[in-house]
Amino acid sequence: MKEYIAETGGRYTYTDDFLNLQELTLSLTSLFEGCSNFIISGCEVSGNDISGGYVWLNKKIRRFAGAKTVGFPYFIYEANHYDTVTYANEVNKKGRVNYLCSGGAAVPGNTDGMTGRVPEFIEIKKDYAPRLTDKFFGRYAVLLETPFSKQTIKKELSIAGKLTGEKEIESKSALSVANGDNGYAIKSIVKSTGDGSVGVYLNGLPVNELIIHTDGSFSFYKQDRLLGQLSENGFSYVASYSQISRSGSILVTGTDIINSEDNTDDGTVNINYSGYKQGNTKYRNFNVYNGKSASVPLFQVIGKDGCIRANGILQIQSNGSGVDITNPGYLKTNSQLTNSIKWTDSASEMIAFIGFYETNNFDLSLRNIIGNIKIQPAAYVDITGELRVNGISIDSTYATKALLTAGLNKKVDAITGKQLSTEDFTTEYKSKLDSISKGIIGENGNGFISANDINEALKKNLTIEKNLSDLADKNAARINLDIYSKAESKTIFLQKANGLLELVNLTADEINGLTPEQAAELKANKQAAIRNNIDAEKKGAGDSKLAKSANLSDLPDKSRARANIGVYSVEETDAKLGGYLPVAERYTGAVFTPEHKTKLEAIKTGIFAGIDNEGKAISQAEGYVLTSGVVKELGKKANLLLDGYNDSQKKTIATNIGVYIKSESDAKYASVEELFQDFITFLVKQGKNTMEAQKILRDKLDAPGNSDVNNNYLRKDGKLSDLMLTNADAKKLACRAIGAAYAEEYETKVKDTGWLQMSNSGSGTDTRRLFVRQIGNVVCIQGVINTGKRDGGNWGGTVAIIPNTVSPPQHGVRFTACDFNDDHKYNRGCSFILNGNSRNILLYESGWNNIDTNINFTYMV
């Protein structure tokens, strides 16, 4: 922008000075660019009068003179016209454009002579007129008072302070409370089904959600998993975790299930009293397992079979009662009384039993179907009564001791070492046994070896099941097998996880006696040797090279680079070529040769024949003449060309010389000052609409329209906000092209709240001298607090609260102050506690009341 300056001594005024002033004036109108027509100031309605003022009408600021005694609605419409001024040679041409306005009860229907369109207007009603407040400020700002029933903000609105609504706050999409630090938000929405939802979201994705259904029920979700539902049928949920649960008289606490409400000795806990849907159509079982996911329960109550099954050891501990088996249907005098203990196999087939099994007697039966019965007392078995075997008394079957003794006395005595058959142990057999000698493992012989010999020999051999773990000396075994141990392999071979680090690490022996510089040089030499072997460059060497994909955009000093290769910059080239014609405008005619130059030099100024100022005759000289000379000569012979022609003469002359008069030219050809508007008007008269006419004109000029530019090019004032990038790779490529960093790959700016005053917890607290500040994840609280200014007692009273903009500690912190005195009974102290996830600073003191205390908390979140 240029500014007019006039210093002392007088200066010439140039056309450029007026253009600069006009440019300054027109630039002010850019404030209202894009706004519809409105009143800037004035134009106040008082009765039936309208005062003067300024209006914004058809993209121009205009002065309205006012009007008296008008009817409503009243219209202020544009009125434009040109002022003609005298140019050189006393020719009248357009010199000014007057953007004016007028008013009336209606807008003229004829087109404006300058715009070629029906005049635009502002409608003023008795109770409303479009003004700066609602048409300009209302376009970009929220107004405290507006003539409309509501205001619409087309883009996002951020409010730094608290938002308070005296009426309900309504959203057509969702209401959210977001934490910008951790990405969590509480969002309330109404789904397409009509169900209401209140949920916690992380970076836009649901974490937990409460859905209020239109039928009055509630559902609780964790992401997409239903946790529970509350309806008219009760509360159903997937899992329950509680310390104590009470339902009716049943109390569940810890590991106990108790009937806690029945104040009698017969209080019970019934399990599976009823079956399917609390009826008695289906049986139910009760199973108790061992807690190790066993396939078979340890204890079962089988409803269908009416039995209790223990699938493990049944241990009965009592003080002498033992096991009572009762048949409640019969007395002991009735043989139908049966009860027994049975043993069955996996197919439920009985294999043994003991008890009253038969209904025709009172005998107690003990039977083993698949084996024998053994009785093994410590000393003897004493049977009272008759002992029978297969129903026959043993008295009639077995001999008594006296009878057995008498019978044995009649038998032959056995001799030691001999039998009473032909298989007697003879001398021959004895000789064979004597000839068998003791053998030794590992030597030839026919002798025998003992089990101890075999065990001792086997101890010296390896066991297959132990997979060489019983080797006596593993180091010697590895030497024999020519293999390395794990520890040796780590020192000899490279590990993938270390990435060749073993090759460049320095051992203690290598750096012993070396200075730090010598040790660094030794390590650098090792690294260089490795890079030479794998044909790699040193880390950071790529930063000093130019990337092919950058097309030299990564040159650190472009000016020096241009000097090195001997080229000019765009600005230098433009400056050097400024005095030359563009290639598109290069001269394509005949070449100006020295012969042409000679001919031009030979052409001289000609003179008409006449009389000079002194009355002397002037001879005619051949050559070119000036326009003034032609005008002078024509004035002598063709006065009509200077005095002017009438319309009839102009048409005749134009016809004779084959040209159009001005009115015909204006009707046939486009004028420059109309900026092609007359071409558009011509096409509209032929039946085209304005948009079609504009497109035809753009096609003729091969120029894009506003929509073409907006859809295909970026706006400067948009600052790349209208750049459509579909994915992260496209964003990274755009950042690389403009030399910018991709935000996701760089650490975000550390949060710094600045020093904030701590909040009061109530009317009794005073935090004017206590401050808090958070930088990143570090929070520091410093200042002075008076222990008498608290909300609560001296053991747990609140003295200050951390503001919501600062994060509380995740774990508890403590600050303690004390006072020492020679008399120990006067020593006093206090503690300030800040519990985890709490914003309240609590005071605990005794004898430290109403004392200004400097405190300091520093913690990480």
Residue 66 in domain: yes
Distance CA 99, CA 354 (A): 125
pLDDT at 145: 62
Residue 394 — very low, low, confident or very high, per pLDDT cuts 50/70/90?
A: confident
Residue 859: per-residue pLDDT: 93
Question: Which H or E element spans position 523?
Answer: helix 516-534
Mean pLDDT across 390-395: 81
Structure tokens at 612: 């000079």
Least confident of 551-555, 644-648, 755-759: 644-648
**800/767 Cα distance (integer angstroms):** 6
Among the listed ranges 116-120, 661-665, 736-740, which one has the minimum average pLDDT value?
Answer: 661-665
- Is residue 299 included in any domain, yes or no? no
Domains identified in the chain, total number: 4
Q: What's the rounded Cα separation, in Å, for the pair 696 and 700?
A: 6
Assess whether 856 and 767 both reside in one domain: yes
Whether omega before 206 lies within 30 degrees of 0, making that bond cis, reads no
Q: Do residues 844 and 803 make contact, with C-beta atoms less than 8 angstroms apart?
A: no
Only one residue has tokens 């790349």, namely: 720
Its domain, for residue 739, covers: 716-745
- Tell me what percent of the residues of the chain surpass a pLDDT of 90: 14
Count other C-beta atoms under 10 Å from residue 707's C-beta: 8
Q: Find where tokens 């002579």 sit.
A: 113
3-class state of residue 548 by DSSP = helix
Query: Is residue 780 assigned to a domain?
Result: yes
- DSSP H helices, 227-365, are none
Identify whether 830 is part of a domain: yes
Query: How far is residue 594's CA from residue 591's CA, in Å, rounded to a whole number?
Result: 10
Report the distance separating Cα 624 and Cα 607, nearest Å: 8
392-406, 632-646, 829-843: which has the highest mean pLDDT?
Answer: 829-843
690: confidence class by pLDDT, cuts 50, 70, 90: confident
d(CA 366, CA 344): 14
pLDDT of res. 101: 93
pLDDT of residue 201 exceeding 70: yes
- Identify whether residues 120 and 81 lie together within a single domain: yes
Listed residues 268, 286, 321: the one ending a domain: 268
Please state the rounded mean pLDDT for residues 50-65.
91
pLDDT at 52 over 90: yes
Mean pLDDT within 263-287: 90
pLDDT level of residue 412 (50, 70, 90 thresholds): low
User: How far, CA to CA in Å, does 277 sit from each of 229, 246, 272, 273, 309?
Assistant: 20, 22, 11, 12, 26
Check if the beta carbon of residue 285 is closer than 8 Å to that of residue 272: yes
Least confident of 326-330, 401-405, 612-616: 612-616
Q: Which H or E element spans position 770?
A: strand 770-775
pLDDT of residue 582: 67
Task: Read off the pLDDT of residues 780-802 as tens digits, 9 standing for 90 and up.
Answer: 999 999 888 888 888 888 989 99
The CATH number of the domain where 825 resides is what?
2.60.40
**CA 641 distance to own-chain centroid:** 83
Per-residue model confidence as pLDDT tens digits over 428-483: 777 777 766 666 666 665 667 777 777 777 777 777 777 777 777 778 877 877 78
Residue 854, both tokens: 């400097």
Among 109-113, 116-120, 417-421, the range with the most confident prediction by mean pLDDT is 116-120
Q: Is 234 left (phi over 0), alpha (psi -120 to 50) or beta?
A: left
Within-domain flag for 74:
yes
Question: Residue 555's pLDDT is what?
Answer: 77
- Are both 130 and 80 inside the same structural domain? yes
Identify the band that residue 285 occupies on the pLDDT scale cut at 50, 70 and 90.
very high
In a domain, 304, yes or no: no
C-alpha angle 533-539-545 in degrees, rounded to nearest 5 = 105
Pairing of strands 256-259, 286-288: unpaired
Cα dihedral sign, 44-46-48-51: negative
Mean pLDDT of 288-307: 88
Average pLDDT for 547-569: 79
More confident call, 176 vs 662: 176
Highest mean pLDDT, choosing among 179-193, 444-458, 460-474, 811-825: 179-193
**Pair (134, 207) in one structural domain:** no
- Asked if 117 and 80 sit in the same domain, the reply is yes
Alpha-carbon dihedral sign for residues 640, 643, 648, 651: positive
What pLDDT does 78 receive? 93
Residue at which a domain ends, from 268, 290, 312: 268
Mean pLDDT calculated for residue range 152-156 = 69
Whether the predicted pLDDT of 2 surpasses 90: no
Find out whether 758 and 769 touch, Cβ atoms under 8 Å: no
Q: What's the CA gap between 248 and 270, in Å, rounded? A: 12
The torsion region of residue 78 among left (phi > 0), alpha (psi -120 to 50) and beta comes to: beta
Same-domain pairing of 740 and 760: no
Q: Are residues 200 and 225 in the same domain?
A: yes
The runs of H, that is alpha helices, within 323-435 are 401-408, 427-435
Query: Mean pLDDT score of the chain, rounded to an integer?
Result: 80
Residues 728, 808, single domain; the answer is no
pLDDT at 771: 95
Same domain, 195 and 123: no
Q: Concatenated DSSP letters for 716-733?
A: GGGTTTT----SHHHHHH
**Residue 584 carries which DSSP code?**
G
